[in-house]
Chains A and B, each alone.
Chain A
Amino acid sequence: MRRTSLVRYGTVATAMALLVAGCGSSSSGGGNQGGGEKPKPAQNVFNAGTTGIRNASDHKGGTLNFIADGDCDYWDPARTYYGFCWDMQRLFSRGLMAYNAAPGDSGLNAVPDLATEAGTSPNGKDWTYHLKSGIKFEDGSPVTSKNIKYGIERVFAQSVINGGPTYVITFLCPGPINTSGGCDAYKGPYADKDPNHLGLSTIDTPDDNTIVFHLNKVVGDWNYIMALPASTPVPIAYDQSPKGGAHYTDHPYSTGPYKFDTYTAGKSLTLVRNAMWNQGNDPFRKALPDKIVFTVDANDDDIDQRILTNIADVNISGTGVQPTAQAKILSNPTLKARADNPVTGATRYLAIESKVAPFDNVHCRRAVQYAVSKVDWQTARGGPIGGGQVATSMLNPTVKGFVQFDAYPDDNGNGDIAKAKDELKQCGKPNGFTTHLASQNSGKGTRVATAVQAALKRVGINCIIDLGNAATYYSQFIGAPAVNRAKGRGLLVAGWGADWPTGYGFFSSLIDGRKILPQGNSNYSETNDPKINDMIDQAVAATDPNKAAQIWGEVDKQLMTEDATLVPMTWDKALVINSQNVTNAYIMLSLLGIYDFQALGHV
């Protein structure tokens, strides 16, 4: 999953970008619809930026001051995994595909960026893209299909270029994927035998404008994977020089409207116009301000104050204002009218480890579904505005195919004690039982665990809270099923957001029974329902993206009603506001509910 600022939460659900295996489909899953729609300007009212454009303007010039409580994990397009950094990449990186620049559902579509049109495939495995002509790097040298191939090859060099999503390794490894998800057959361009460093045999570049991918499986969502930052072209000679490789993050070569001027890691970045960028061959980038200055400020309350007093313009971390500013904004109608409250892509949930007794019995799992208080959880996470919305299903509202339904109707999120007790009886534990509850030891982790503990106590389920360290919580603490079983951890607090906004991006490593890994596992509940596995295969093989979306909706229903292994608690929300200098602001659902930075302008 993509991360919001780690520094801010210290705890954020950093579920891993789990490598996905085994999926089928044909034809374009990403689709290129939605590119032509013109979003409407929005009235200046609360939440206007989630459906329309605030302060729509084409005025060019000025300097936008961006601020956040931490620097990007990496500026290297192949290494970054923070949501807001993917959004920042849109300012200087162009890939084959990109998310459509629009508020609302239309922004969930992948549209061609450097490619002339969305990739096509006769069989779902061989994908062909053609490049637009006249694309240049910031130094004026031409971008060819080889630069895109090289950029993707870099991801294979995990000992140097690590940190980012690794889907391209999974699907493009020329040999078998080893047990740990790595590729032994190709180790990246730094260890390449090919003198041109283009040795990856599964990508062809028949000419400078054509690139063909030969995937080892059918992947219907390939156009979405090509919308991740790693499909950005990289200059080969520069990357092979001492300034490249692990240091490429200090100055990634621009293909977009802005380029790096000065950068001090952990402190500031100045972006200036890139003269080599041509608006004529860019599908959507606005490039309004002349300059963008990003400064790191350690104090979140200070950041809010700067935005409210128009000293800084945009808090790019997108994690929402602090409680002090939230109270101020909500109580002041003028300020409130300037603010947005989007869902930010992550579902917070409780995974029920189905291999830990008595949760091997579905009735005991359903008892938990009824007994939890989602409202208390919501309060622990910061309330309905700053924390999240009560969730009734696992799929997030930001994912294509989301359908609102509630398999366990309860008292407005307070839990249904009678039904929970009834399920406990059917499970053979009328008086309840004791289990371990895993959560993180910092941020909201403890509060959330305490809320669950108190709610379950109402029906006699006693929880012993096991706290894990935030930095390794997902990878090590709950990511090893054998450990969870041995320690009797029946309930695991977790969070998850899709790397790209389709059911496949969201669900595939979460509930696919064939992807339960001994280490670094994301199927925490060890859900292995043949029916779900089957439906996943169908969805991946569906030729029509809308059909696929519909199947993902059904997967969600099957999971909730029959398996009951995951308890959706809240869908994250954030209260966000920009300074009064900012024009052209709207929320991108596909980028974790953050403003589309490339569209922003200065009054």
Chain B
Amino acid sequence: MIQYIIRRLILVVVLMWVVSMVTFAIFFLIPSATGTSPAVLFAGKAPTPDTIAAVEVKFGLKDSIPVQYGHFVEGIFVGRHFDNGADKSYCPPPCLGFSFVNNQPVWEEIVSDLPVTLSLAAGASIMWLVTGTAVGVLSALKRRTIFDRAAMGLALAGVSLPIYFTGLVLLDLISYKWGILPNVHYVGITDNPLSWARNLLLPWIALTFLYAALYARLTRAGMLETMGEDYIRTARAKGLTERRVITRHALRAALTPIVTIFGLDLGQLLGGAILTEYTFGLIGVGHLSIDAISRQDLPVIMGVTLFAAFFIVFANLVVDVLYAFVDPRVRYS
């Protein structure tokens, strides 16, 4: 098991290395291929050649691409000093680059926006996992009843309706019209946990509606399949209670695909829930990336991409390890 995890970790590192090279190449090679220096984007509204030159020196944009990449990777581990004499900036490790627009390390920007995204993802994922699997199990057990059909119908709607629709409907009714949860805005969990949860409730519900639907359908299908398996019949024959049969034997097997997809969804969400954040006016990592794109803030775009990629790759690793615990048939050696 340990060996397996180590092997996978090495793979994670290799994968991240490849992702970093590709993003670096895209974001720095393409502007230079089209003849625009990234320095121009940094240098303000009316950059004089002097300013552009100063920026190029400061960020080492004159170096060859491989050298620049080397500095970039080095920065992630030991930090970087940007210096052109008059203007000095320090980017502490992990230095993912320096924002053109905000003139601060990309990592700081991500970290300052991360609490919003983390809160959004953590709360929503717990909500959708619980409701999704619960509804799925119930639907499977009460197959072809009104509950089953209603739940699956609702699930279909949830999967089909985009977040900006459900989000806006929720906002319009609950926030603006009825005034139940007015003024949705982010409050830090350490500042006021109650206010934190209250303010994030609407985005959580919107995300839950979207994601839980899929989980309910998957759980239902998985449950129906495993409930027909021989070992379930055996379990029943051995005299186990129905409750134990369902929770210990059927659900556990049905959970495998859920874990897979949960890891991917969560990883993706941590990289930034762009539409959700925009709909509810939250300033998280998703907003950061969109903002960076509209301002052509290349280092931030690159930093967020790497960051999101890391979460997805890491989530996959966690999922694979979790298999061993969830599904007794899986053993790593």
Where the two chains meet, the residues of A that have a C-beta atom closer than 8 Å to any C-beta of B are 3, 6-7, 10, 14, 16-19, 70, 81, 157-160, 162-163, 166, 178, 180-182, 187-188, 190-191, 245-246, 264-267, 295-299, 301-303, 305-306, 309, 311, 442, 469-472, 475-476, 519-520
Residue of B nearest to A169 (CB): B48
Q: Is the CB of A81 within 8 A of B58?
A: no
Given A159-B84, A160-B86, A305-B171, also A19-B283 (CB < 8 A) = no
B176 CB within 8 Å of chain A: yes
A297 near B46: Cβ-Cβ < 8 Å: no
Having A190-B87, A470-B294, one finds 11 other A-B pairs with CB under 8 Å, namely A7-B295, A17-B46, A159-B84, A159-B87, A190-B86, A297-B185, A298-B281, A298-B287, A299-B279, A301-B168, A303-B281
Decide yes or no: A182 and B281 within 8 Å by CB, A264-B112, A472-B296 being known contacts.
Answer: no
On chain A, the residues within 8 Å of B176 by CB distance are 305, 309
| Contact status of A163 and B45, CB under 8 A, knowing A246-B87, A265-B102 | yes
CB<8 Å pairs between A and B, sample of 15: A7-B294, A157-B86, A158-B50, A182-B51, A190-B86, A245-B87, A265-B104, A265-B112, A266-B113, A266-B291, A295-B185, A298-B277, A302-B184, A302-B281, A472-B41
Closest Cβ of chain A to B30, distance in Å, is 12
| A469:B50 contact, CB within 8 angstroms | no
Chain A interface helix/strand/loop/mixed? loop
From A177, which residue of chain B is reached at the shortest CB distance? Answer: B48
Whether A519 lies near B49 (C-beta < 8 A) is: yes
* A to B contact number (C-beta, < 8 Å): 122
| Complex partner residue of A298 from B44, B112, B283, B295, CB under 8 angstroms | B283
Report whether B47 and A182 are in contact in the complex, using a CB–CB cutoff of 8 Å: no
Closest 7 pairs (CB-CB, A-B)? A16-B46, A471-B296, A297-B281, A159-B54, A299-B281, A180-B48, A162-B44
A18, A178, A442, A470: which contacts B50 (Cβ < 8 A)? A178
Taking CB atoms and an 8 Å cut-off, the chain B residues in 63-77 that contact chain A are none
Closest to A8 in B: B294
Contacts of B103 in A (CB 8 A): 246
Contact yes or no, B102 A187, CB < 8 A: no
Cβ contacts under 8 Å, B104 to chain A: 265
Q: Is B36 an interface residue (CB 8 A)?
A: yes
Name the residue on A nearest B41 (C-beta): A471
Say whether B196 faces chain A, with CB atoms less than 8 Å apart: no
Is B323 part of the binding interface, using a Cβ–Cβ cutoff of 8 Å? no
Which residues from chain A contact B49 at a C-beta distance below 8 Å? 180, 182, 519
| A309, B182: Cα distance in complex, Å | 9
Smallest Cβ-Cβ distance to B286: which chain A residue: A298
B218 contacts chain A at the CB level, 8 A cutoff: no
For A312, give the chain B residue with the smallest CB separation: B183
Expressed in whole angstroms, the Cα–Cα distance for A225 and B111 within the complex equals 39
Q: How far is the CA of A264 from the CA of B291 in the complex (A)?
A: 16
B55 within 8 A of A: yes
Given A17-B46, A159-B55, A520-B47, answer yes or no on A6-B182 (Cβ-Cβ < 8 Å): no
Q: Is the CB of A16 within 8 A of B45?
A: yes
Contact with A along B274-304 (1 / 0, CB 8 A): 0001111111000100010011100000000
Contact B282 A298 (CB under 8 A): yes
- Number of residues in B with C-beta < 8 Å to the partner? 47
Q: Which residues of B contact A182 (CB under 8 A)?
A: 48-51
Q: Provide the bound-state CA to CA distance between A582 and B211, in Å.
A: 42
Could you give, for residues 3-23 of chain B, a 1 whenever the CB lies within 8 Å of some chain A CB and a 0 otherwise? 000000000000000000000
Partner of A302, one of B51, B55, B102, B280: B280
Asked whether, in the complex, the Cβ of B51 is within 8 Å of the Cβ of A162, the reply is yes
* Bound CA–CA A426/B195 (angstroms): 72
A475: chain B residues at CB < 8 Å are 40, 45-47
Are A158 and B36 within 8 A (Cβ)?
no
Residues of A within 8 Å of B47, CB to CB, are 162, 475, 520
A311 contacts across to B, CB distance below 8 A: 182-183
B89 with A159: CB separation less than 8 A: no
* B121 CB–A CB distance under 8 Å: no
| A-side contacts of B175, CB under 8 Å | 305
Contacts of A162 in B (CB 8 A): 43-44, 47, 51
Indicate whether B228 reaches chain A with its CB closer than 8 angstroms: no
> A159 touching B58 by the CB < 8 A rule?
yes
Report the Cα distance A472→B104, complex, angstroms.
Answer: 21
Q: In this complex, what residue of B is CB-closest to A303?
A: B281
CB neighbours of B36 from chain A (8 A): 472, 476
Q: Does B328 contact A (CB under 8 A)?
A: no
Contacts of A442 in B (CB 8 A): 294
Of B46, B104, B109, B171, the most chain A CB neighbours within 10 A belong to B46
- Contact yes or no, B48 A181, CB < 8 A: yes
Verify B296–A469 contact, CB threshold 8 A: yes
A-side contacts of B45, CB under 8 Å:
3, 14, 16-17, 81, 163, 475
B239 within 8 A of A: no
Q: Does the CB pair B87–A160 fall under 8 Å?
A: yes
Cα(A309)–Cα(B180), bound, Å: 13
Given contacts A188-B86, A311-B183, whether A266 and B48 have CB atoms under 8 Å apart is no
> Smallest distance from the beta carbon of A522 to chain B beta carbons, Å?
9
Q: Give bound CA distance, A527 to B112, whole Å.
A: 48
Q: Identify the closest chain A residue to B184 (Cβ).
A: A302
Instruction: Choose among A3, A17, A301 the residue with the greatest number of B CB atoms under 10 Å from its CB.
Output: A301
**A6 lies within 8 A of B46 (CB):** no
B262 to nearest A CB, angstroms? Answer: 27
